[in-house]
Amino acid sequence: MKTTIEKARASRRKWYQANKEKAVAKVLERKSELKEWLTEYRKNTCCETCGENDIACLDFHHTDPSLKEISIATTIKNGWSKERILDEISKCVVLCSNCHRKFHYYS
């Protein structure tokens, strides 16, 4: 006899198979919204070393590698909540690509 958990999983699988296109579209929309949100967030930041503010050049650098749970890009890819993403960002400083590379090269 199936447990309640197994029944729920089977029900979710059945729903997904019947609504796959809708489910995939919803996930893609969520990721797109998160990317836009992060872009807007980054527009209000700059490199803490040199002041560069072009968002194409800005990286999130985890100040304490032992506290790093995941990269910020991966949080977006995985569809994390904004609250969880902000929690991960709070462990970071913003550096431009050049300063970020110099930091890792010289340390």
The rounded radius of gyration (Å) of the Cα atoms in the chain is: 19
CB 27 within 8 A of CB 76: no
pLDDT at 1 over 70: no
What is the Cα–Cα distance from 55 to 96, expressed in whole angstroms?
A: 9
**Structure confidence at residue 68 (pLDDT):** 97
CB atoms within 10 A of CB 42: 19
Q: Provide the pLDDT for residue 2.
A: 74
Question: What is the per-residue pLDDT for 3?
Answer: 86
The mean per-residue pLDDT over the stretch 74-88 comes to 96
The Cα–Cα gap between 9 and 42 comes to 38
* pLDDT tens-digit readout, 13-72: 999 999 999 999 999 999 999 999 999 999 999 999 999 999 999 999 999 999 999 999
